[in-house]
């Protein structure tokens, strides 16, 4: 007999290394003579899309078209340290570093532009679509490329360097109290499963994943990270287990260590809940690891809703499901 159930789980997750650990990212931004710009960052893009996000942030801050931005990342020959790609930190920490570095480069550009445009302060200037213009008189403008070229001839380089440190404090070792992380991401996921009571097999039919990510700088990228996180959560709940014997891994290959394939994935509905995080770059936080954490407990709660047994040891294999059902039946006798 196949029985269906629905379960829900919510989490909150701290951004960055936490607990007072040094959490610093640095970046360098230079505006060139042709009106383009280069961003140097040590942030390694492992496929999560940080190169795209950091390029977007630089383009927005500099007021340049995104195709004018060249981002060089994770090159130990020339990029500054940006810490590890871990702890859901690159959009927040490296994003802030890139934004600050771009703002410094833009400040030098605007200082030079103030003289060219004959204004007495840079407060009335802005940059958009590759032009520096007077806010109250937009027709008065000059191309970034022209300004950068003139600045170079006068011996100026439009370079900004900046570092950003994520706020964190060490918790009290006696009480465990404190504020080890900031900011936090929040999420709730709902899972619908079908459990075969004869075989113990669990099929995840659907996951609805709602995530507070701050401001979504790139919605497609956020949805992709949520999809990927759910896939990891499904594997965590149902199949993935490192088997050890005398300190040696017994299932070191993917023929024995089972992860979900695309064929195993349920329907996933990402729901992006946008808030504005004041300390984040343009209000962004992060979505990496939080996307996988609620999936497992939501699935286990759905299993309980379907067949009335609690699985307390992962993964929830068919053998464990059948064993729990048998124990439940015996307790009822």
Supply the residues annotated as catalytic.
289
Residues with Cβ within 8 Å of residue 36, at least 6 apart in sequence: 64, 68, 69, 70
Cβ(321)–Cβ(5) under 8 Å?
no
DSSP state of 92: I
Cβ(38)–Cβ(72) under 8 Å?
yes
- How deeply is 159 buried, as exposed, middle or buried, from its count of CB atoms within 10 A (0-12, 13-18, 19+)? middle
Give the side-chain half-sphere CA count within 13 A for 318.
8
DSSP state of 68: G
CA–CA dist 21, 250 (Å, integer): 35
Residues with Cβ within 8 Å of residue 195, at least 6 apart in sequence: 2, 3, 4, 5, 201, 202, 203, 303, 306, 307, 321
For residue 199, how far is the Cα from the chain centroid?
38
């Amino acid at each position: 007999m196949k029985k269906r159930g629905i379960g829900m789980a919510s989490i909150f997750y701290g951004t960055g290394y936490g607990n007072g650990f040094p959490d610093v990212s640095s970046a360098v931004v230079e505006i060139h003579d042709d009106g383009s710009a280069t961003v140097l960052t040590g942030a390694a893009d492992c496929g999560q899309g940080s190169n795209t996000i950091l390029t977007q942030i630089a383009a927005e801050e500099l007021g340049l078209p995104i195709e004018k931005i060249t981002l060089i990342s994770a090159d130990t020959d020339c990029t500054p340290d940006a810490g590890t790609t871990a702890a859901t930190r690159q959009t927040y920490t490296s994003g802030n570093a890139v934004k600050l570095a771009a703002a410094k480069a833009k400040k030098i550009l605007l200082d030079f532009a103030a003289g060219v445009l004959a204004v007495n302060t840079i407060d009335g200037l802005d940059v958009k679509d590759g032009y520096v213009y007077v806010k109250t008189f937009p027709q008065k403008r000059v191309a970034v490329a022209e300004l950068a070229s003139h600045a170079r001839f006068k011996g100026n380089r439009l370079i900004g360097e900046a570092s950003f440190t994520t706020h964190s404090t060490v918790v009290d070792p006696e009480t465990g109290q404190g504020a080890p992380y900031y900011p936090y991401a929040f999420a709730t996921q709902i899972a619908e499963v079908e459990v075969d009571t004869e075989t113990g097999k669990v099929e995840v039919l659907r996951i609805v994943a709602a995530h507070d990510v701050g401001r979504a700088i790139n919605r497609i990228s956020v949805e992709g990270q949520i999809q990927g996180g759910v896939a990891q959560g499904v594997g965590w709940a149902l199949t993935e287990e490192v088997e050890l014997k005398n300190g040696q891994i017994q299932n070191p290959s993917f023929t024995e260590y089972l992860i979900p394939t695309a064929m195993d994935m349920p329907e996933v509905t990402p729901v992006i809940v946008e808030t504005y995080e004041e300390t984040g770059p343009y209000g962004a936080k992060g979505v990496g690891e939080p996307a996988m954490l609620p999936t497992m407990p939501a699935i286990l709660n759905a299993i309980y809703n379907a067949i009335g047994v609690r699985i307390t040891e992962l993964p929830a294999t068919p053998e464990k499901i059948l064993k729990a059902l048998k124990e439940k039946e015996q307790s009822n006798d």
